[in-house]
Amino acid sequence: MLLITFAMIIGAIYQAIEVMARGIAVGVVGRFFIYNIPYTLSCSIPISALFSSLLLFGRLSSDSELNAMKSSGLSLWQIAAPILLFAVGLSAFCVYNNGYVFPATEYANRKLIKGMGVEDPIKLLDEGRFIREFPGYMIYVGKKRGNKVKDLVVYEVDKKDGSITSSIRAGGGLITVDKEKAELRIDLEDVRIEVPDAGNPDDATKTRYINAKAFPIRLDFTELLGDQKVTKKRRNMTLPEMLYRIRNMDEVYPRLSSKQRDIQYCRYMVDMHKRLYLAVAPITFVLIAIPLGIRSHRKESSIGMLMSLAIVFVYYLFIVIADSLDTSPQLMPWLIPWVGIVCAQIAGLIMIRRAN
């Protein structure tokens, strides 16, 4: 579980790099990672239960340990009982995690990202890369030491079509911050400005060149300060909150038509059942993994990994189908995932019975 959780949470590193580039404290970035863990666990716990069960019973079978236990009077049900009880405990934890913990932490993460703001705007001007955080500008800083910068290239960009309206090159500059106006000022030195002709931007002969000893640039970072008002999405709602909306559609969405309310009802139902479906996955996966692990008769983990991937693919395919039909309430797509659970658990019980 630790290995799979770590592998799945690596994706958050890219977001963390963007967050750190905005001058955010390390402690805030740490909270960002912590808030991602509950959602990751909702996926990693079922997969790790499946993979570890396949490896365990495959090894027990290949080393003839199962035969030894059976010959001493133990049935396969007795051997598998501790694993199944542990899987029930994992599913109970997943119900709580999927229904309460990860929606709350996902919402907290959204508020954190939206409201984290910029503690030190100067840190936004990181050397050796293009900075696009400031609206209307694209900036490259060659070197930076404190609030002094060298070898700057500043492109003024049209906010509508993204075209470059002018370029500024400077040998150096001094950065100052006006937090009251949410403004970053760069006083450039040894400046050369290139302004292409508006009618023929590709014609270099019509480009105007302006040289200056000093030139100030104002960068507005108001948009980077964040906004604490973040509305909850379905993904951020706990199970009681979703149940309230499902039962009170007329009150929650009074301006929607009857058809639109039915679609909203369907989406809430699909989301709620999907969380419960994932919560029951540890039990389902263990029931399948025990007989399949016994049949594999391999010491290598490769066959167990391939079987795990195949089972996970089929299991999650029902979720994809349900999501794709969440605008068709007449088809009751929220029941589709449970078809996978019923079929998988019945198949697992039959295979365990045969193996016993």
Q: What is the pTM assigned to this prediction?
A: 0.66
Q: Which residues of the chain have pLDDT under 70?
A: 14-26, 113-124, 161-162, 197-205, 221-230, 296-305
Judging by beta carbons within 10 Å of its beta carbon (0-12, 13-18, 19+), is residue 223 exposed, middle or buried? exposed
Q: Return all residues near 79 (Cβ < 8 A) that are at least 6 apart.
A: 66, 69
Using CA atoms, how far apart are residues 75 and 56, in angstroms rounded to an integer? Answer: 17
Q: How many CB atoms lie within 10 A of CB 40?
A: 20
Q: 325 Cβ partners below 8 Å, 6+ apart?
A: 270, 331, 333, 336
pLDDT digits (tens, 9 = 90+) for 197-216: 666 656 656 778 888 888 88
256 Cα distance to chain centroid:
31
Q: Tokens 């989301």: give the residue.
A: 271
pLDDT tens-digit readout, 40-66: 899 899 999 998 998 888 888 888 888
Q: What is the Cα–Cα distance from 181 to 195, expressed in whole angstroms?
A: 28
Q: What is the pLDDT of residue 280?
A: 93
Q: How far is CA 295 from the centre of its chain?
A: 36
Q: Which of 291, 281, 275, 273 is CA-nearest to residue 341? A: 281
* Strand residues in the chain grouped as ranges (E): 130-131, 137-145, 148-157, 164-178, 183-195, 208-220
CA distances from 121 to 126, 145, 333 (A): 10, 14, 48
**Where do the structural domains in the chain lie, given as residue ranges?**
2-116+230-355, 121-225
Give the pLDDT confidence score for residue 58 in this predicted structure. Answer: 85
- The reported pLDDT for the residue numbered 228 is 47
Query: How is residue 103 written in tokens?
Result: 């929606």
